[in-house]
């Protein structure tokens, strides 16, 4: 999972300890989470073992993030940012790979969708 390869989201504010663990949000920004179910992969953030354990010991994800960052929505906001960044990287890899094999030919509908999505994202930025 791409998120597990990133730094702890609290590393810019606090000293970290232990390997990165993927935290599935207890209150997802997308989809649902129920008893015995964890949030989908859109709802994940990287935390070092120290911060991941502290979050679960705190019991309330929003309060934990508020105590650490001053914002209740930090987890959901950053999970969404990680999801969007990962999606863009995947689109770029697909376009690069497919473009090289389609030089001089019309792109497939799937490649055209990827190219349009990337162009729209660049136009937004």
pLDDT surpasses 90 at 51: yes
Could you tell me the pLDDT band of residue 43, with boundaries at 50, 70 and 90? confident
Tens of pLDDT, residue by residue over 23-39, are 999 877 766 665 565 66
Q: Which residues pair with 44 in a beta bridge?
A: 24
Q: Could you tell me which of 86, 91, 87 has the C-alpha nearest to residue 4?
A: 86
Residue 67 Cα distances to 44, 49, 71, 83, 109, angstroms: 19, 18, 8, 24, 47
Tens of pLDDT, residue by residue over 66-98, are 999 999 999 998 888 888 887 777 777 766 666
The pLDDT of residue 88: 76
The pLDDT of residue 117: 60
The pLDDT of residue 97: 66
98-101 long-range contacts (CB < 8 A, ≥24 apart) are none
């Amino acid at each position: 999972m791409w998120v597990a390869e990133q730094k702890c989201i609290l590393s810019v504010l606090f000293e970290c300890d232990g390997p990165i663990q993927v935290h599935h949000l207890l209150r997802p920004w997308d989809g649902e989470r129920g008893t015995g179910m964890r949030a989908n992969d859109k709802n994940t953030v990287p935390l070092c073992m120290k911060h991941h354990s502290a979050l679960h010991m705190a019991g309330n994800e929003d309060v934990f993030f508020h105590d650490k960052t001053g914002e209740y929505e930090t987890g959901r906001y950053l999970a969404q940012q990680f999801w969007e960044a990962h999606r863009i990287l995947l689109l770029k890899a697909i376009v690069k790979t497919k473009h090289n094999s389609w030089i001089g030919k019309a792109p497939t509908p799937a490649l055209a969708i990827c190219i349009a999505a990337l162009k729209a994202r660049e136009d937004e930025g």
